[in-house]
Each structure stands twice: as structure tokens, then as C-alpha cells.
């Protein structure tokens, strides 16, 4: 089975596993742009020692290209019971031109989830 066949996607407002990509400002070519990727934005995802989001990766594919560039990756290491890492990746990027941001999130029980967001 190909990895593309096991990637899941859905409407993030109805599915708690979907990574939600938010550009925290206007896109300007070559200027810093803060980007947040959060899992469980509308419906919180469990964060327990048995069930958690292990990591989020963020990619950028410039328009006109088929080759994604990995921008950032966050691994979440604390899943309770008392100490927790929230599944939120926040970074700043500088992009040369409009394109697509893609995020992938991994839940230890429910697999790999993807989403995309156009920038610029």
C-alpha cells in the first residue's frame, strides 16, 4: 500500500485529527510570515499517555512546482498524566512566492492526517 493511500483528510471543523494551518498575517514575498499548525482546533484531540498527536510536519510547495520543501517539524513528547505538550507547531517562514502550505500530523492511534492551505 502506498503512503498516499493511508493519508487521511477531512473537514477540520468536524474531524479532530486534521492539522489546521493558519497564516498569522498577510503574505509578502520574501518577508517573514508566522504560521501556526494546530490539531484539534475545533474539536480537541485527546492528549493522554495512550492516545496523542506525536508530531506535525509543515511543507511548502511553490506554485508551478511539484516539489515540496519541508519548513518545520515538531515532535510532542509529553502526554501526561500531569505534564502535556499541546499539538501546536508555530514558526515563521520567508517564502519567495505564493504557493501551498501542506501539513501532516500523526496520531498514535488513528494514523496520518493531512491538510493544505494556499498562501499568497
Of the candidates 44, 42, 51, which has an alpha carbon nearest to the alpha carbon of residue 106?
51
Q: Measure the CA–CA gap between 48 and 53, rounded to whole angstroms.
A: 9
Write down the catalytic residue from 51, 63, 90, 97: 51
What is the closest distance, in whole angstroms, from the C-beta atom of residue 102 to Fe ion in the complex? 20
Q: Measure the CA–CA gap between 35 and 76, rounded to whole angstroms.
A: 18
What is the closest distance, in whole angstroms, from the C-beta atom of residue 43 to Fe ion in the complex? 11
Is 79 catalytic? The answer is no
Grid coordinates in use for 53?
498527536
Grid coordinates in use for 97?
512566492
Grid coordinates in use for 70?
519541508
What is the closest distance, in whole angstroms, from the C-beta atom of residue 25 to Fe ion in the complex? 30
The residue (of 6 and 109) whose beta carbon lies closer to Fe ion is 109
Is 70 catalytic? The answer is no
Is 45 catalytic? The answer is yes
Binding positions for Fe ion, rule: CB under 5 A: 107, 109-110
Q: Provide the annotated active-site residues.
A: 15-17, 45, 51, 107, 110
Amino acid at each position: 500500500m502506498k503512503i498516499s493511500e493511508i493519508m487521511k483528510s477531512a473537514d477540520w471543523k468536524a474531524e479532530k485529527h486534521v492539522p489546521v494551518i493558519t497564516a498569522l498575517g498577510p503574505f509578502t514575498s520574501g518577508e517573514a510570515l508566522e504560521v501556526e499548525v494546530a490539531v484539534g482546533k475545533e474539536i480537541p484531540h485527546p492528549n493522554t499517555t495512550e492516545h496523542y498527536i506525536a508530531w506535525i510536519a509543515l511543507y511548502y510547495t511553490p506554485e508551478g512546482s511539484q516539489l515540496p520543501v519541508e519548513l518545520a517539524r515538531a515532535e510532542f513528547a509529553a502526554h501526561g498524566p500531569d505534564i502535556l505538550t499541546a499539538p501546536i507547531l508555530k514558526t515563521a517562514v520567508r517564502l519567495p512566492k505564493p504557493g501551498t502550505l501542506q501539513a501532516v500530523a500523526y496520531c498514535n492511534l488513528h494514523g496520518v492526517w493531512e491538510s493544505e492551505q494556499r498562501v499568497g
